[in-house]
Amino acid sequence: MSARADKAPRLTVRVLHASAPFAAIAVLVIAWALIKIVFDLQDFVLPSPWRVLLAFLDAPGPFLVGSFETALSATFGFLIAVIVGVSLASALSLSRLVERSVYPLTLLFQMVPLIAIAPLLVLWFGYGRPTIVASAAIVSVFPIIANTLTGLRSRDERHLELFTILGAKHLTVWWKLSLPSAVPSIVTGLRIAAGLAVIGTIAGEFIAGVGGDRAPLGIMITTALRNFQTDRVFVSVLLSACVGFTVFGAVSLISRVVLARWMRV
Amino acid sequence: MDPQLAPPSTSHGSSIRLDRVTRSFAEVAAVAEVSLECAEGSFTALVGPSGCGKTTLLRLMGGLDHADRGTVTRESMRTSFCFQEPRLLPWRTTIENVALPLELAGVPRAQRIERANDALEQVQLSDAAQRFPHQLSGGMMMRASLARALVSRPQLLLLDEPFAALDEVTRYELDAQLRALWESQRFTAVIVTHSIPEAVFLAQRVLVFTPRPARIIAEVETPHDQRDAHAWTSDAMGTCVRKASDFLLAGISEQRR
């Protein structure tokens, strides 16, 4: 078979793969429009895709500012979760005794619903960004702790033996063997946490968000709901998903670039 | 002077002595009352049936395990171990892997890179210095492992079936390279192997062990001064291989009775 004939199906497959997500979105939008028409639903129950698009195009400024504010809080919360999560898991991994005593506490902390501790966060940090960031950090920190700890425990015992014969000290083993071995697992935790950070941010905005010119998406959702502007709720929800996708994508991209040598492991 | 920085000398003062060493696992004896001594600059091969306790013995020599009874006296300051598997760290390049012993010993970066390059050159792996382990063949990975063992200029090199998983051609090639390195550097070497021809080709003497628990049943001197490009097929080698094989088979038969 000629090289040209080989390339043609490969190109078709590539185009199919690239267009698959867009096709799925198109199917969803068509189904949405059909449901509205078939069940004759009113706009405040289910606006049409077209109306949602118009609601955004009518005044995109506040939505874009809101998205930026939400993304900023999510990023801050995520970064705090990364620092706290990796540090705490590292400290736990250095001593079995500390791990046994502190890890159940972190598990317990994870079990407490955010909504239950939200009033305390407002009490301690007040309304606005600090509580929102804290909320994002709390929701996203656990996967980082759990994955970092799993990764730190998963070092190859044969490599440990090599380090032992080379006379490496406890901390050196941790720094040069355990931590690098944990990187793929940490990256998985970061990816999960990136998505959760946006969820935590929106939840935090529901509880402690502040309205005004720079209202974040969470506040835009609650405000639009109160005014029965369901089209604006849809716009904000879709933008929240976009923010989540962007944060997740950025973390994945940075992981790929910075940790290239681990990605091949 | 940092022992890692000391220049290599042609005559090292290393030797290892085992005196009535016994090691058991869950009350099953792996090594029983073994005594042996390796003179400085010598090359010794340990051969025996699978699972007879040779690796346990080597681990005791390397300080990776402790004897239940008896003593292991290692006079060497610098001991290197070459394992059955290459054990390269997958996130490090070949040169970074080779330089690891020096890095852990605190040798400055410039010096350790220079010495790692030298070690890679010794095992003819300079071209692969910047490659990652997954980009290397099995033979190249074992070469890198050997370079890592040599980079700290060991006085005692312990090799645990280092080339067992390789194809025969690569194995011959690496055996010849190891032999040449030992001839030029004269570190004390102890190799565990299943292959009697390999043991005879590499070492000056072959210690034949019984099935578990490992006990020395014979010591065979090899024609180590008659090696050339055709050493593998020479009459002297063949005689020596037959002699060691006879002892090995006799040991197995005796154990079965």
Give A112's DSSP letter: S
pLDDT at B1 over 70: no
| Structural domain spans, chain A | 1-40, 58-263
Specify whether B165 is located in the same domain as B243: yes
CA atoms of B98 and B151, how far apart (whole Å): 7
Tell which of B132, B152, B172 closes a domain.
B152
Residues 31-70 (B) with a CB less than 8 A from some CB of A: 62-64
Inter-chain residue contact B104 with A172, CB threshold 8 Å: yes
* pLDDT of B10 above 80: no
Same-domain check for residues B92 and B9: no
> Does B168 score more than 70 pLDDT?
yes
Contact in structure between A221 and A42 (CB atoms under 8 Å) = no
A139 φ, ψ (degrees, to nearest 5): -70, -35
Report which of B160, B154, B151 is spatially closest to residue B101, judged by C-alpha positions.
B151
Q: Are residues B1 and B74 in the same domain?
A: yes
Q: Report the pLDDT averaged over residues B175-195.
A: 89
Q: Residue B15: is its pLDDT beyond 70?
A: yes
Take residue A106 and report the two structure tokens written for it. Answer: 């972190």
Please give the C-alpha separations between residue B169 and each of A170, A185, B139, in angstroms, as whole numbers: 41, 39, 10
- CB-CB under 8 Å, A158 with B85: yes
What is residue B257's predicted lDDT score, i.e. its pLDDT?
A: 61
Looking at the fold, whether B5 and B57 belong to one and the same domain comes out as yes
Whether chain B has a CB inside 8 Å of the CB on A154: the answer is no
Please indicate, yes or no, whether residues B158 and B147 belong to a single structural domain of this protein.
no
Looking at residue B251, its amino acid is: G
Range of the domain at B25: 1-78+154-257
- For residue B28, give the nearest of B48, B49, B52 by alpha carbon: B52
For residue B87, give the 3-state DSSP assignment.
Answer: coil
How many Cβ atoms from other residues are within 10 Å of residue A163's Cβ? 21
Nearest chain A CA: its distance from B30 CA (Å): 20
Minimum CA–CA partner of B152 in chain A: A166
Which of B134, B152, B170 represents a domain boundary (last residue)? Answer: B152
B3 shares contact with chain A (CB less than 8 Å): no
Tell me, yes or no, whether B147 lies in a domain: yes
Cα separation, B207 vs B202, in Å, equals 13
**What is the CATH classification number for the domain harbouring B53?**
3.40.50.300
CB-based contact A165 B62, cutoff 8 Å:
yes
B100 shares contact with chain A (CB less than 8 Å):
yes
Burial of B198 (0-12, 13-18, 19+ CB in 10 A): buried
What the block records as the tokens of A131 is 């509580």
Split into its structural domains, chain B has a count of 2
What lies within 8 Å, CB to CB, of B143 at 6+ separation is B123, B124, B125, B174, B177
Which tokens sit at A152?
């730190």
Specify the amino acid at residue A129. Answer: R
In a structure prediction context, what are the per-residue pLDDT tens digits for chain A, which is 265 residues long?
Answer: 455 556 666 888 888 888 888 899 999 999 999 998 999 888 888 999 999 999 999 889 999 999 999 999 999 999 999 999 999 999 888 888 888 888 888 888 778 888 888 889 999 999 999 999 999 999 999 999 999 999 998 888 999 989 988 888 888 999 999 999 998 899 999 999 999 999 999 999 999 988 888 899 999 999 999 998 999 999 999 999 999 999 999 998 888 887 777 655 4
Q: Which one of B137, B152, B167 terminates a domain?
A: B152
Which residue in this structure is represented by tokens 């690891």? B100
Sheet with B16-25, edge to edge strand ranges: B28-38, B16-25, B69-74
Whether the pLDDT of residue B93 is over 70: the answer is yes
Which of B60, B85, B89, B96 is the best substitution to test chain A (most A C-beta atoms within 10 A)? B89
Q: Name the residue with higher pLDDT: B49 or B112.
A: B112
- Put simply, the answer to whether A164 touches B81 (Cβ < 8 Å) is no
Q: Which ipTM did the prediction report?
A: 0.79
Residue with tokens 């001839």: B183
Q: Assess if residue B223 is contained within a domain.
A: yes
Rounded to 5 degrees, φ, ψ at B156 are -130, 120
Residues B125 and B100 in one domain: yes
* Same domain flag for B142 and B180: no
Residues B38 and B160 both lie in one domain: yes
Q: Is A162 on the interface with B (CB under 8 A)?
A: yes
Give the torsion through C-alpha atoms of B92, B96, B99, B105, to 10 deg: -60
**Would you say residue B99 has pLDDT above 80?**
yes
Share of chain B above pLDDT 90, in %: 27
| A261 closest CB neighbour out of B62, B104, B132 | B132
Q: Both B162 and B67 in a single domain?
A: yes
**Cα–Cα distance, B177 to B142 (Å, whole number):** 12
Contact B89 A180 (CB under 8 A): yes
Q: Are B160 and B34 in a shared domain?
A: yes
| Number of CB pairs, chain A paired with chain B, less than 8 A apart | 44
A167 touches chain B (CB under 8 A): yes
Task: Specify the length of chain A in residues.
Answer: 265
Q: Which run of H or of E encompasses A66?
A: helix A60-94
What b/e string do you get for B63-80 counting C-beta neighbours within 10 Å, with b at 16 or more? ebbebeebebebebebbb
Residue-averaged pLDDT of chain B: 83
* Residue B83 is assigned to a structural domain of this protein: no
The pLDDT tens digits of the residues spanning B50-83 come to: 878 888 999 999 888 888 988 888 876 688 889 9
Q: Which amino acid is at B4?
A: Q
Residues of B in contact with A164 (CB under 8 A): 64
Taking the Cβ of residue A191 and every Cβ of chain B, the question of whether any pair is shorter than 8 Å is answered with: no
User: Looking at residue A81, what is its pLDDT?
Assistant: 96
CB A159 within 8 A of CB A181: yes
Calculate how close chain A gets to B198, using CA atoms only, in Å.
Answer: 25
B239 domain residue, yes or no: yes
At B255, the amino acid letter reads: Q
Q: Are A138 and A110 in contact (CB under 8 A)?
A: no
Superfamily of domain A58-263 in the CATH hierarchy = MetI-like (1.10.3720.10)
Residue B29 lies in a domain: yes
Nearest to B87 among A159, A176, A262 (CB): A159
Mean pLDDT of B179-189: 89
Q: Are B20 and B35 in contact (CB under 8 A)?
A: yes
Do B99 and B213 lie in one domain? The reply is no
B102 is a domain residue: yes
CB contact under 8 A, A166 and B104: yes
Nearest CA in chain A to B78: A166
Query: Which residue, A40, A77, A108, is CA-closest to A200?
Result: A77
How far is A183 from A155, CA to CA, in rounded Å? 11
Contact at CB, A264 and B134, closer than 8 angstroms = yes
* The pairing of beta strand B16-25 with beta strand B79-82: unpaired
Same domain? B135 vs B244:
no
Partners of B100 on chain A (C-beta within 8 Å) are 166, 176
Name every chain B residue with its beta carbon within 8 A of the beta carbon of A179.
none
* Separation CA B12–CA B133 (nearest Å): 32
**A160 interface with B at CB cutoff 8 Å:** no
